[in-house]
Structure 1
Amino acid sequence: MDKLTEVLKYKFGYDSFREGQKEIIEQVIAGQDVVAILPTGMGKSLLYQLPGYLMEGSIVIVSPLLSLMQDQVEQLKILGEKRVVAINSFLSFEQKEKVFRNLSSYKFIFTSPEMLQNDRFNHALSAIRIAYIVADEAHCISQWGFDFRPDYLRIAKWLQQFRQTNVLALTATATSKVVEDIKTTLLMREPFEYIHSLDRPAIAYEAVEVKDAKEKLAWIIGRVTSTNGPGILYTQSRKKTEMYAHELQKRGIRVAYYHAKMEQDDRILVQQQFQQGQLEWICATNAFGMGIHKDNIRQIIHDHIPTSIASYMQEVGRAARDGAQSIASLLFTATDVEQAFYVAMQDFPEEADIRLAYESNDISLQLPETTTRILDYWKEELKEQETIQLFQTIKQKKWAEILSLYTMLQNEVCIREQLLHYFDEELTNRPKYCCSKCSLPLQEILVERKQRSEQKEEMNWKIKLDELLLS
């Protein structure tokens, strides 16, 4: 047994690596920059955790969400790792100062792009040995950096201080353009690239055109109440998450809603209840999903056209991590295209906003917080006319992307084939249950799912009965 497999067995309890894992880990240990694209459920966390036990120094993991950080910290603690910390807004000033003073005692240091701009944190980091740096969910650099979190783009300047070590970028989906954004922002030097097929044969794709919101609601209620979960219902509106949850609760479904305006403790509770099986369905905005360790999600439903194909693939990819048959259903109307574009653009600055930003030193009272944050960054990087041109280009690309997804749903070409083509991949093996354009005998899939649920319930009762008889 080689050293890597030995650590895999001793620390993580696995006998063998999944496809691609060992090659990536070997490159990280060798000091090589790495871009690794693996679908959800392929064990991306192992790729940054295992090398840490074979190298000196701390690992800095840049993560996009507080809930994701907390979940990753808890997963490591379950494995017996105590030298782990998440440095974020959950910590008080006193707690942060204590962590900073003892930073070298932590093996795994999770933080956000925003915290990388903290001088006190950087001073503490400069005093310790860093084994390597990890950009988790690295697609956010391209997908969010230009949209509403410019601190993702500031990572490039931050890395200039700590570029003596290598960088590992991990994500589930990325086009060639996104990969280039990742490599540029992370200052990568001829990185090793591992790109796994994005095809998920166990997920069937269903596109359903409806007349209006009333028909959408009726369809959703019918599907959720007549089939088994677990499942996630994605919507763009916080009010709709609550409305859907209320309607389904009235019909006896174990469901809760989730959106970004909820208290953090409430969000964590809902996430835990879903992961532990106490809830069968979640009605959520796209704030829900990253870091969800739930292998048996059977259904993903969208009541809208997502703002990008990459976002859609990220969200449906949360189903079927256990490899069992699942289905991703997308409901849409012709007017959803304009709504998707509005949602995508709502925080983007208009030309008048940009001119105001360049004329004024303080625009925080005149423009929304997100818009202000975006313009504060670009004022440092570009001239006024260049910024205007940049956002005109971004808007055109956003519109084209939304229209591409709408076209995929409307035409008669295989959905799976089109999704893979978007990521420069060809469909080589069409699964039995492919998509609503090919072959999708819904009753057959749903009956199979119901039978599995009944078999599982019967097995659980047998176990409970055996326990009672033996006690």
Structure 2
Amino acid sequence: MDKKTEALNKYFGFSSLRAYQEPIVDKLLEGTDTLAVLPTGSGKSICFQLPALMKNGLTLIVSPLLSLMDNQLQELRAKHIKAAAAYNSFMSPEEKSRVLRRLSSLKLLYISPEALSLPFIVERLKEVNVVMMVVDEAHCISQWGHEFRTDYLKIGPVREAVGNPCMAAFTATATPEVQLDIKKQLRMEEPAEYIHSVDRVNIALFVQRCTSEREKKKELVRIIQNAPGPGLVYVTSRKKCEELKKLLQEESAHQVEAYHGGLDNEARLMIQQQFLHGDLDVVVCTNSFGMGLNKADVEFVLHYHFPKDAESYIQEIGRAGRDGRQAWATVLYLEEDIIIPQMLMESELPPVDELDAAWETAASSRQEETTADLINKLGWTETAARFLAFYLEKHPRKRKSELLEDLEEKVQQRRFEKEKKLKVMVQWLENSNTCRRRLLLQVFGEALMKRPDPCCDICGSTIPVRKQPGNEKEKVTAPWEMRLQELFFGKEREHE
């Protein structure tokens, strides 16, 4: 047994890697920069976790979501891998200090791009042997990516500061344009590239047009009543999450909960664990739910509100059918819903007519407080505020007039790209004569080689109806505090 297979068996209990995982692992063990575009649920984590555990030094995993960090860390701990930790805003100052003291003994450190760019973190990392950097959800680094975050643009300079370790970038969705931008921003020179199809052949695709909100709710109830689950219903607002949760609790026999940013951390964690362990059938959620959630048997993903671009759609439906069994995804399409992604896009960009006032606000703020001041004083979203703060930090000596002109141009360019992506998404939804799978693959520069059966509504497929037996036995849900304790620490056995 070679060292790689021995380590794979020791840490993860597997006797071999999947065919597409092995070359990625080999390249990272060699220290070769690597770009991997792998479908959601394909086991990309092990591609960097195994080399990290085998290398002599620290691997940084830059991750965009705290829930994603937490999920991967919990899975490693469940495998008794102790040389892994996270550094994020959920932690207390004491916990953060403890992690920084342990750096030299760690193999994996999960960290957000915002934390990684902090000067004192970079200085501390210079003191240890950083052998590899991994950027998870790497589309976030691209100005053309569907979740662009400016702090990702600082990863390249951090890499240089800590000694230019091997760089790996992983994502499930990246158009050819985004792939080029990822390589440029991460300063990857001639990386090994493993680009796999985004097509999930076991997920049938459906779009159902509705003429009113009332009809859409009626169709939602009908579909969920006849779907055994487990499944996800995606919406764009906290209010709609709660509204549809209540509707489905009243109109179906399913165990349904809502997940959104308005819940506290403990409640969100509880819902994740309930869903993972089969205590919930349906989660009505915003798009952050499901990222990194390792649940193989999700049967359906239903979009009550459609995503703003094809990349988001591919990523979200990819949370179904990870076990390889037949699954399905549907969008309840109401034409007037287009106002929702339009408003979201506008909120993500600095308002052009407020750039002058924003410059004045930033000029009177300390650099580290610029983002907070733009949010609090001008009412901007965090995304828009970070966008402006980044460019002010990047060009500290530019004259005001020149800087504002440059910013306005960049905002307009970003708006144009976002509108173009939304238009493509709407055209896909309104298409009535071409295979949906074929059109979706074209967005990513792919051709449909073989049409699966079932494929999509255009090809004659229908949403499977498998009505469950009557609800003879009601599920009993324990108080969430008790259930949370059971999930993490186990249920104490009664004395015999």
Q: 1:414 aligns with which of 420, 431, 435?
A: 435
1:15 CA displacement? 2.2
User: Residue 225 of structure 1 corresponds to which residue in structure 2?
Assistant: 225
1:410 CA displacement? 1.3
User: Once the two structures are superposed, what CA deviation does each residue of 1:10-69 show, in whole Å capped at 9, x if it has no partner?
Assistant: 321222221311100111011110001111221111011111232110111111111111
Q: Secondary structure at the match of 1:224?
A: helix
Amino acid of the residue matched to residue 68 of structure 1? L
User: Residue 465 of structure 2 corresponds to which residue in structure 1?
Assistant: 446
Amino acid of the residue matched to residue 191 of structure 1? P
User: Residue 276 of structure 1 corresponds to which residue in structure 2?
Assistant: 277
Q: Does 1:427 align with 2:463?
A: no
- Determine if contact 1:341/1:398 at 8 Å carries over to the other structure: no
1:152 CA displacement? 1.5
1:439 CA displacement? 2.6
Amino acid of the residue matched to residue 281 of structure 1? V
User: Once the two structures are superposed, what CA deviation does each residue of 1:65-108 show, in whole Å capped at 9, x if it has no partner?
Assistant: 11111111111111110111111112211221222122111111
User: Once the two structures are superposed, what CA deviation does each residue of 1:156-189 show, in whole Å capped at 9, x if it has no partner?
Assistant: 2222202421111111111111112211221111
Q: Secondary structure at the match of 2:335?
A: coil
User: Residue 38 of structure 1 corresponds to which residue in structure 2?
Assistant: 38
Q: Distance in 1 between matches of 2:103 and 2:447?
A: 46
Counterparts of 1:378-397 in structure 2, within 5 Å, are 378-381=391-394, 383-397=403-417
Amino acid of the residue matched to residue 446 of structure 1? V
1:144 CA displacement? 9.0
- Determine if contact 2:136/2:170 at 8 Å carries over to the other structure: yes
Q: Distance in 2 between matches of 1:145 and 1:226?
A: 36
Q: Distance in 2 between matches of 1:108 and 1:247?
A: 43
Q: Distance in 2 between matches of 1:147 and 1:313?
A: 13
Q: Secondary structure at the match of 1:253?
A: coil
User: Once the two structures are superposed, what CA deviation does each residue of 1:217-238 show, in whole Å capped at 9, x if it has no partner?
Assistant: 1100111012211000001111
- Determine if contact 2:104/2:128 at 8 Å carries over to the other structure: yes
Amino acid of the residue matched to residue 23 of structure 1? P
User: Residue 108 of structure 2 corresponds to which residue in structure 1?
Assistant: 108
User: Residue 211 of structure 1 corresponds to which residue in structure 2?
Assistant: 211
* Range with bigger deviation, 353-362 or 202-211: 353-362
Q: 1:3 to 1:101 in 2, by over 3 A?
A: closer
User: Residue 378 of structure 2 corresponds to which residue in structure 1?
Assistant: 366
* Range with bigger deviation, 399-408 or 3-12: 3-12
Q: Distance in 1 between matches of 2:280 and 2:150?
A: 35
User: Residue 423 of structure 2 corresponds to which residue in structure 1?
Assistant: 403
1:253 CA displacement? 1.8
1:353 CA displacement? 1.9
- Determine if contact 1:101/1:124 at 8 Å carries over to the other structure: no
Q: Distance in 1 between matches of 2:234 and 2:41?
A: 20
1:336 CA displacement? 2.0
Q: Secondary structure at the match of 1:98?
A: helix
User: Once the two structures are superposed, what CA deviation does each residue of 1:285-316 show, in whole Å capped at 9, x if it has no partner?
Assistant: 11211111100000100012211110010000
User: Residue 464 of structure 1 corresponds to which residue in structure 2?
Assistant: none
Amino acid of the residue matched to residue 391 of structure 2? W
1:369 CA displacement? 4.8
- Determine if contact 1:29/1:55 at 8 Å carries over to the other structure: yes
Q: Distance in 2 between matches of 1:80 and 1:136?
A: 23
Q: Distance in 1 between matches of 2:20 and 2:312?
A: 24
User: Residue 201 of structure 1 corresponds to which residue in structure 2?
Assistant: 201
- Determine if contact 1:145/1:152 at 8 Å carries over to the other structure: no
Q: Distance in 1 between matches of 2:216 and 2:161?
A: 52
Amino acid of the residue matched to residue 17 of structure 1? L
Q: 1:195 to 1:163 in 2, by over 3 A?
A: farther
Counterparts of 1:43-442 in structure 2, within 5 Å, are 43-142=43-142, 149-251=149-251, 252-360=253-361, 361-362=363-364, 364=374, 365-370=377-382, 371-381=384-394, 383-411=403-431, 412-442=433-463
Q: Secondary structure at the match of 1:446?
A: coil
Structure 1: give runs of 5+ residues left out of the alignment: 452-470
Counterparts of 1:24-35 in structure 2, within 5 Å, are 24-35=24-35
Amino acid of the residue matched to residue 316 of structure 2? E
- Determine if contact 2:57/2:131 at 8 Å carries over to the other structure: yes
- Determine if contact 1:145/1:153 at 8 Å carries over to the other structure: no
- Determine if contact 2:133/2:168 at 8 Å carries over to the other structure: yes
Q: Secondary structure at the match of 1:434?
A: coil
Q: Secondary structure at the match of 2:208?
A: strand
Q: Distance in 2 between matches of 1:29 and 1:406?
A: 43
Q: Distance in 2 between matches of 1:306 and 1:5?
A: 41
RMSD: 1.9
Q: Secondary structure at the match of 2:357?
A: helix
User: Residue 18 of structure 1 corresponds to which residue in structure 2?
Assistant: 18
Amino acid of the residue matched to residue 36 of structure 1? A
1:339 CA displacement? 2.4
Q: Secondary structure at the match of 1:9?
A: helix
TM-score by length of 2: 0.87
Q: Distance in 2 between matches of 1:206 and 1:13?
A: 38
After the TM superposition, which segments of 4 or more aligned residues of structure 1 sit over 4 Å from their partners? 143-148
User: Residue 9 of structure 2 corresponds to which residue in structure 1?
Assistant: 9
- Determine if contact 2:350/2:380 at 8 Å carries over to the other structure: no
* Range with bigger deviation, 363-372 or 294-303: 363-372
* Range with bigger deviation, 2-11 or 290-299: 2-11
1:373 CA displacement? 2.3
- Determine if contact 2:174/2:311 at 8 Å carries over to the other structure: yes
1:366 CA displacement? 2.4
Q: Distance in 2 between matches of 1:344 and 1:311?
A: 13
Q: Distance in 1 between matches of 2:460 and 2:143?
A: 32
- Identity of aligned pairs, percent? 37
Structure 2: give runs of 5+ residues left out of the alignment: 365-372, 396-402, 470-495
TM-score by length of 1: 0.91
- Determine if contact 1:144/1:150 at 8 Å carries over to the other structure: no
Q: 1:231 to 1:405 in 2, by over 3 A?
A: same
